[in-house]
Chain A
Amino acid sequence: MKEGCIKVHAPLSAEVARSLACGQRVCLSGTILIARDAAHRRMAEELSRGESLPFDPVGAVLFYGGPAPTPPGHAIGPIGPTTSARMDPYTPVLLRLGIRGMIGKGKRSPEVVAAMREAGAVYFGATGGAAALLARSVKAVVTLAYEDLGTDAVCLLEVVDFPLVVAVDARGNDLYEQGRAKYINGPDQTAKEL
C-alpha cells in the first residue's frame, strides 16, 4: 500500500484537505487524535454547555480507533478503525468547529457528508481488521483528555506513513458509492423491500 500513496501531514491544512480526491491512497504522518463513542458523547455535552473542546479543533484529524493493550516490546498494541457511523450524530458540529479529517471504516450519513462539503473536510478509510499492520505506523501515544473514560479517553497519536484511503473527499465524492458502482453486476437487488 506504500507505493503510489500521497504523503499527507496532520493536522491538515485547508488546501491539502480540499486537494485530496476520493479513491486516492494516502500515507499520513504527524499528530492525530483518538476519539470514540464515549469521547464524542462527552464533547457534545461540553459543547452544549458552552464549553470548548479539550484540543484545538482547527485542522485536527480524529481517528475512530482503539488499541489493544501494549504487549512487551511494542510501542502500542494492535490498533484499527471502528465503525464510523456510530460517530455520525456528533460529527457535523465538530466539522463546523474546524475538524478537517476523520479516520474510520464504513459509510457516513448524508448529514455528515453534507457537513464535510461545507467544512472542506476529508474522511479517510483505514482497513478494518488490519490492526497488527496499522500499529507499525504508530510511534507514540499520549492521553490528552477525559482520562476518567479509561480506554475511551482522547489520546494523541504520533503516526508515520499511516496507510489510508480517501473514502469521502471534501466535494462529497463517496468511494463506498462510486467504487461499488463500478463493480455492481446485474439488477440492483437493493431497492426491493422484503
Chain B
Amino acid sequence: MIHTNQVRNLVEVLFRRAAVELPDDVESALLKAGDAEKAEMGRAILGELVQNERIARREGIPICQDCGLAVLFMEVGQEVCFEGPGLMSAIDEGVRRAYVRGFLRKMSVQDPLYERKNTGDNTPAIVHLTTVPGAGLKLIAAPKGMGSENASSLSMLRPGDGEEGVVRSVLQTVDRLGANACPPLVVGVGIGANFERAPLLAKRALLRPLGSRNPDLRYADLELRLLRQINDLGIGPAGYGGTVTALDVHVEFAPTHLAGMPVAVNLCCHACRHAEGRI
C-alpha cells in the first residue's frame, strides 16, 4: 500500500532537485565538450555553462529561469494499491509545492489560445504512466523548457524514406531552429509507433544517460552517425559557431504501421534536467 502523500512528497523533492542539480552525466558531457570544441567562443560558452551549473548546485537556485512544464514519468508496479487523496491531485500538489517553496519560476498558462493566464503554481503536471511487474513505484521528474520544445518536430515519413529520410528529418530540425534551442543539445529521436507515440519515444530518449547507446547495434550506429552529422552543421555552443552542436543523440524505436514511419525529434537544451526516485 502506498499513500498518495508519499507520492506528493517525492514529486516535490524530485522537481526541486531537477531544477537545481544537473545530472552528473550531463555535467561530464559539458566538461568533455569543452575539451573537444574547436571554436574559442564555443569553449568560453561551455565554460560559462559549467560555471553556471556549479553556482546553481552550490546556492540551491535554478539552473535556468525557464523552470519548464512539469513532465513526470511514472512506472507503477501492478501490485501497488494507492490510499489517500487522488493520485493525480497528489502529483499536482507535489508540483505546486516544488515550484512555490523551491522559488522556481511558474511557466504554465491555463488557456493556450485566449487568456494565457498563468496558473500560478506550474500545475498541471504532464504525467506519463506505465505499469510494470512488482510492488514498487518509480518517478522521473523531467521539467522541460519551451525554447527547445518549440524547436522540436514530428514528420510522418514514408517507409521507403529509409535511414536517409530519418537523417534528413533530424538534420533539418536541428538546422532550422537548433541555434534557438540553447545548444549544445541533447537530441531525442523517436522512430515508429504512431502520431502520438513517436514524440513520447523521443522524449523518453532524452532521459537515457549521455554516452549510452541503443542496444540494437543498427540504431547505435545511427545515433553515432546523427551525432557526427549534427556536429558537422557547425552551429556550436549558443549557436555562435563551433564543432559541438550536440552532446549526444539517442534514438528509440517501436513497432509501427506497415504503411508509415513517424519520426519525432525532441530537442533538449544543454540543461538536460531530470531526477529519479523510488518508493
Q: Do A and B bind each other?
A: yes
Minimum CB–CB distance for A4 against chain B, Å = 9
The A interface is mostly helix, strand or loop, or mixed, namely: mixed
Partner of A128, one of B41, B47, B147, B157: B147
Question: Contacts of A23 on B, CB cut-off 8 Å?
Answer: 41, 240
Q: Is the CB of A78 within 8 A of B64?
A: yes
Total interface residues in chain B, CB < 8 Å: 58
Partner of A183, one of B45, B60, B63, B234: B234
Partner of B61, one of A82, A85, A132, A180: A132
A77 to B99 alpha-carbon distance, docked (Å): 13
A189 to B229 alpha-carbon distance, docked (Å): 9
A117 to B232 alpha-carbon distance, docked (Å): 31
Tell me whether B44 is interfacial, beta carbon within 8 Å. yes
A67 to B106 alpha-carbon distance, docked (Å): 11
A74 to B61 alpha-carbon distance, docked (Å): 10
Q: Is the CB of B44 within 8 A of A189?
A: no
A33 to B270 alpha-carbon distance, docked (Å): 27
Tell me whether B269 is interfacial, beta carbon within 8 Å. yes
Closest to B157 in A: A194
Of A1, A77, A128, A192, which is in contact with the most chain B CB atoms at under 10 Å from its CB?
A: A128
Question: Contacts of A165 on B, CB cut-off 8 Å?
Answer: 41, 238, 240
A71 to B247 alpha-carbon distance, docked (Å): 31
Report the stretch among B48-56, B81-89, B125-133 that lies at the interface.
B48-56
Q: Is the CB of A69 within 8 A of B105?
A: yes
Question: Contacts of A180 on B, CB cut-off 8 Å?
Answer: 179, 233-236, 239, 241
A85 to B145 alpha-carbon distance, docked (Å): 16
A80 to B105 alpha-carbon distance, docked (Å): 12
Minimum CB–CB distance for A183 against chain B, Å = 4
Provide a sorted-by-A list of 17 A–B residue pairs whose CB atoms are within 8 angstroms: A66-B65, A66-B105, A67-B65, A71-B60, A71-B61, A80-B65, A83-B180, A129-B270, A130-B64, A150-B118, A176-B179, A180-B179, A183-B236, A190-B171, A192-B168, A194-B165, A194-B172
Partner-A contacts on B (CB < 8 A):
38-39, 41, 44-45, 47-49, 51-53, 55-56, 59-67, 103-105, 118, 145, 147, 150, 155, 157, 165, 168-169, 171-172, 175-177, 179-180, 182, 229, 231-236, 238-243, 269-271
Given contacts A105-B239, A129-B52, A151-B118, 6 further A-B contacts (CB under 8 A): A78-B56, A105-B182, A128-B147, A133-B48, A181-B241, A190-B175
Partner-B contacts on A (CB < 8 A):
1, 23, 25, 65-71, 74, 77-80, 82-83, 85, 105-107, 125, 127-136, 150-151, 163, 165, 167, 175-176, 178-186, 189-190, 192, 194
Enumerate the 3 nearest inter-chain pairs by beta-carbon distance, A residue then B residue, closest first.
Answer: A179-B241, A106-B180, A184-B234
